[in-house]
């Protein structure tokens, strides 16, 4: 499908250069979009133009796409993105906004919405909800794995590809159509000696230092006081009924729907259906006016 060219955006927040893309009328209702693990802002290139009532701004989260990686002494816990996200929102002048997240971005969006519910009008979660809980007793082993992984990945280098097409071929497959793979890969690459390599920070592949417990995740989900739409993909995480059960148990204003497609349903042939469901939800929740 042909999609409008987005506008490139840049910010400087907490010493980090952050990048993003924007679609739609800058005067329209604002929506912040957060991509999934190892993706980037181009993840929303097919969906954002279909959200016609909104200006959509999608970030390259730190360590992804054209945004800076974190310093070698820092990490990539999902809550560590919040200070930079708030800095971007301040730069945009968005006091209140709708929030959308996919996969890892959905987990970040849930945590952000629970911590700052007064700023978020409505929440849309695409095939993601929260990280899997880890029992408190497993904390020492989790911490050790984080330290071991960090040392290992800091000593590694990203793979080099002779051409952009070679890199795209490595990402495309049954779970990600070629057109979607091209959008993501081209924004996650940089030229180097010998061809092209990923700009993605390898440390994102390592273990987290701390995993949330079941009680902490319940507290996050119970803190989602805004209208919340969870779209589960039939060939994605929708195959894990525990995610839907967790959402139903703890989220008060939940609307839960199933959509065709895989984990990247918003980048597949089902994108128009995904957009229609999101548009209906946002229209119904926005009728109350602007906060």
Catalytic residues: 103
Q: Which residue matches tokens 């180097």?
A: 192
Residues near 290 by Cβ (< 8 Å), separated by ≥ 6? 29, 96
Structure tokens, 89: 């929102």
Bridge partners of 192, per DSSP, are 195
Q: Which residues contact 134 (CB under 8 A, 6 or more apart)?
A: 142, 211, 212, 213
H/E element, 188: none
Q: What is the 3-state secondary structure (H, E, C) of 122-149?
A: EEEEECCCCCCCCCHHHHHHHHHHHHHH
């Amino acid at each position: 499908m042909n999609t409008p060219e987005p506008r490139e955006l840049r910010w400087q927040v907490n010493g980090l250069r952050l990048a993003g893309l924007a679609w739609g009328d800058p005067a329209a209702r604002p929506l912040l979009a957060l991509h999934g693990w190892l993706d980037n802002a181009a993840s929303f290139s097919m969906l954002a133009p279909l959200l016609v009532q909104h200006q959509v701004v999608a970030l390259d989260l730190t360590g992804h796409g054209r945004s800076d990686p974190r310093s070698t002494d820092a990490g990539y816990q999902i809550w560590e993105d919040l200070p930079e996200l708030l800095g971007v929102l301040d730069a945009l002048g968005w006091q209140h906004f709708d929030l959308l997240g996919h996969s890892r971005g959905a987990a970040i969006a849930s945590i952000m919405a629970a911590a700052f519910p007064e700023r978020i009008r409505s929440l849309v979660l695409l095939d993601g909800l929260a990280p899997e809980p880890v029992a408190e007793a497993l904390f020492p082993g989790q911490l050790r794995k984080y330290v071991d992984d960090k040392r290992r990945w800091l000593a590694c280098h990203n793979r080099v590809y002779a051409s952009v097409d070679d890199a795209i071929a490595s990402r495309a497959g049954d779970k990600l159509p070629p057109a979607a793979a091209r959008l993501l890969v081209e924004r996650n690459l940089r030229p180097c000696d010998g061809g092209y390599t990923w700009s993605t920070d390898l440390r994102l592949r390592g273990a987290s230092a701390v995993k949330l417990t079941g009680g902490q995740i319940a507290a996050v989900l119970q803190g989602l006081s805004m209208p919340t739409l969870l779209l589960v993909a039939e060939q994605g995480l929708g195959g894990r009924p525990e995610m839907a059960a967790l959402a139903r148990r703890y989220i008060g204003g939940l609307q839960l729907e199933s959509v065709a497609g895989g984990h990247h349903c918003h980048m597949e042939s089902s994108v128009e259906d995904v957009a229609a469901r999101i548009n209906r939800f946002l229209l119904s929740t926005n009728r109350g006016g602007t906060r």
